[in-house]
Structure 1
Amino acid sequence: MSAPQNKPVNQRAWLLILPVFICVAFSAILPLMTVVNYSVQDIISPERRVYVGVEWFAEVLRDEDLHAALWNQMKFSLAVLLVEIPLGIALALAMPAQGWRASVTLVVVALSLLIPWNVVGTIWQIFGRTDIGLLGHSLEALGFDYSYTGDATQAWFTVLLMDVWHWTPLVALLAYAGLRSIPDAYYQAARIDGASKFSVFRYIQLPKMRGVLMIAVLLRFMDSFMIYTEPFVLTGGGPGNATTFLSQYLTQKAVGQFDLGPAAAFSLIYFLIILLFCFVLYNWMQRLGTAQKEGANHE
């Protein structure tokens, strides 16, 4: 009996990914290469460019405004995660599991996600005014001297509150989807064992939500680290530089001052910062999940 002959493999299927590759090239790779090109050149005129190496990178890293913007960004992103993740989980746990109430609750919770970013800033700009805004007028009536345009701390907390209002529903919906994917058999076993609600949450719900919570943490971290429109509309980066984040710093460099070389260099630094933090955060969450599994197995 003769050995089976190897049939030629049809490689034409690779042509199906060609449109995707072209789209990615035009939307990501080519712009990135353009930014890399600008970051190592001094563009004196459209016809004259001088290679400067890493000069723009060194200049940007020495900029004190960048240090202040990075500090504001780190505080804001950390606060977003510490507030929105637990609040989203609590909201998901409180939502109805089934029936028409669940459908109505999902629609109501998702309403803020449908509002455009610039409109969100405008809403809170009016909401925080002491003359016509509900928030500002209520705080003033209670005796608080509230002014998100004049006080740096109040401006920062107003931007944080705005982001919590806008994006906590995303965390809640992801956590809700994770809760609904847990089989009823786990809850039945917990009831038979007489487990408390906290034990059910710790040993059943939270481990089963780990995947969607990882997605929620990464999405919220990346979005908060790239926030621009909402604080720009609400405070314009002020008062002073209190709410000037990295994206606004970049815009000021590229558009306001038209320093294309430093702006391109900082764009690459900005990209690497986000990539590094997401990598560290992802690996930390993976190790945390592995440790939880090993602890549960030992118990």
Structure 2
Amino acid sequence: MTPARRNLHSLFLLTPAALVMALCGVVPMAFVAYYSLHDTFGGNSFIWVGTTWFRQILVSPDFHAALLRSLGFSLLVLAVEMPLGILVALKMPARGWLASAFIILFTIPLLTPTIVVGYLWAAMTLPKAGLLYELLSLLGLGLDMNHPVVVWLVLIAMDAWHWTGLVVLLCYAGLRAIPDDYYRAARIDGASAWAVFRHIQLPKLRIVLLVAVLLRFMDSFIIYTEPYVVARGGPGVSTTFLSRELVQTALVEFNLGEGGAMAVVYFLVVLCVSWAFFTLVVSKNSLDPKRAPL
């Protein structure tokens, strides 16, 4: 088969996936972009307003505050889950039934639906009934869900329970892909565990870690269900992230124009961050002569 025919065959096989992506992604986003440039009356009358909604939300203090809360939550999630995931992956056994048991154990939270996670942690924080509440009471600590710092700590712990397993599994797979020759050379040189991690394991994990950071940033930045179930955006607006602000504007207040503009800005932020990480992955991959280009 000639290269041109092979490429044509590959494009033909990709056609169903391209159609699904167009129907599920491109078409809805086109409608959202249309709404963002119009005002609506009566639910079916649209009037062109241009970039009015974009100018309005970009100077809105509520939008800025919600965006900063979302970014702050994502940064805290990464600061907790990335080091914890690497540490757990390093401590896991390399092979055997115990390694399989750990893999299954870390996979279980990943398979739990987000709404179940939210209600599970909401039940755990119930006064006089929740497991987490009673455990902290035994330790002489209170769990005041009316305090913003406490609620943020609970949300960070909840997200770490739910998603640290993903970082662990990615790092574990990356560590198992490192040839044993590197470790044998390190033992011959008398390298310490820290030196092995710094000069062998961490450089070999750089692509895996970039992918893990990208996945966790996107998931945490667009999080909605769990914080809403646990805290309902409170106390006050301390956990009203950008996703909740968007739902409130577009679905509750039925302001399709402002909600559409907010969704477009939201999408552009995620797209820019994703593109930046993808560029880093490709550039670092191209620097390694032993790796094929992506």
TM more than 0.5: yes
Between stretches 55-64 and 264-273, larger displacement belongs to: 55-64
Residue of 270, 274, 278 corresponding to 2:274: 278
* Contact 2:171-2:205 at 8 Å conserved across structures: yes
* 2:49 is equivalent to residue 49 of structure 1: no
Q: Hey, what's the Cα distance between the residues in 2 that align with 1:200 and 1:104?
A: 26
Give how far 1:217 is off.
0.5
Counterpart amino acid of residue 69 in structure 2 = N
Between stretches 264-273 and 121-130, larger displacement belongs to: 121-130
Aligned residue in 1 for 2:194: 198
Alignment of 1:168-207 (within 5 A): 168-207=164-203
Give how far 1:70 is off.
1.1
Structure 1: gaps of 5 or more residues: 1-6, 294-299
Aligned residue in 2 for 1:267: 263
* 2:101 is equivalent to residue 134 of structure 1: no
Counterpart amino acid of residue 124 in structure 2 = F
Aligned residue in 2 for 1:80: 77
Counterpart amino acid of residue 180 in structure 1 = R
Identity of aligned residues (%): 45
Aligned residue in 1 for 2:110: 113
Aligned residue in 1 for 2:242: 246
* Contact 1:96-1:102 at 8 Å conserved across structures: yes
Q: How many residues align?
A: 284
SS in structure 1 opposite 2:55? helix
Alignment of 1:83-102 (within 5 A): 83-102=80-99
Q: Hey, what's the Cα distance between the residues in 2 that align with 1:96 and 1:104?
A: 10
SS in structure 2 opposite 1:50? strand
* Contact 2:207-2:281 at 8 Å conserved across structures: no
Give how far 1:276 is off.
2.0
* Contact 1:130-1:140 at 8 Å conserved across structures: no
Structure 2: gaps of 5 or more residues: 289-294
Alignment of 1:52-63 (within 5 A): 52-63=49-60
Residue of 160, 163, 177 corresponding to 2:159: 163
Q: Hey, what's the Cα distance between the residues in 1 that align with 2:282 and 2:74?
A: 20
Give how far 1:45 is off.
3.0
Give how far 1:284 is off.
6.0
SS in structure 1 opposite 2:141? coil
* Contact 2:70-2:221 at 8 Å conserved across structures: yes
Give how far 1:140 is off.
2.6
Report the TM-score, using the length of structure 2 for normalisation: 0.90
Aligned residue in 2 for 1:296: none
* 2:22 is equivalent to residue 25 of structure 1: yes
Q: 1:8 and 1:106, CA in 2 relative to 1: closer, same or farther beyond 3 A?
A: closer
* Contact 1:121-1:231 at 8 Å conserved across structures: yes
Alignment of 1:197-236 (within 5 A): 197-236=193-232
Give how far 1:269 is off.
0.2
Counterpart amino acid of residue 189 in structure 1 = A
Q: Hey, what's the Cα distance between the residues in 1 that align with 2:252 and 2:3?
A: 59
Aligned residue in 2 for 1:4: none
Give how far 1:16 is off.
3.3
* Contact 2:210-2:277 at 8 Å conserved across structures: no
**Higher CA-based Rg:** 1
Q: Hey, what's the Cα distance between the residues in 2 that align with 1:193 and 1:9?
A: 51
Q: Hey, what's the Cα distance between the residues in 2 that align with 1:233 and 1:172?
A: 26
* Contact 2:133-2:142 at 8 Å conserved across structures: no
CA offsets 1:75-103 (integer angstroms, 9 cap, x no match): 11111111100000000001010111111
* Contact 1:112-1:165 at 8 Å conserved across structures: yes
Give how far 1:211 is off.
1.3
Give how far 1:280 is off.
3.7
CA offsets 1:46-68 (integer angstroms, 9 cap, x no match): 55221000001111122222122
Give how far 1:105 is off.
1.2
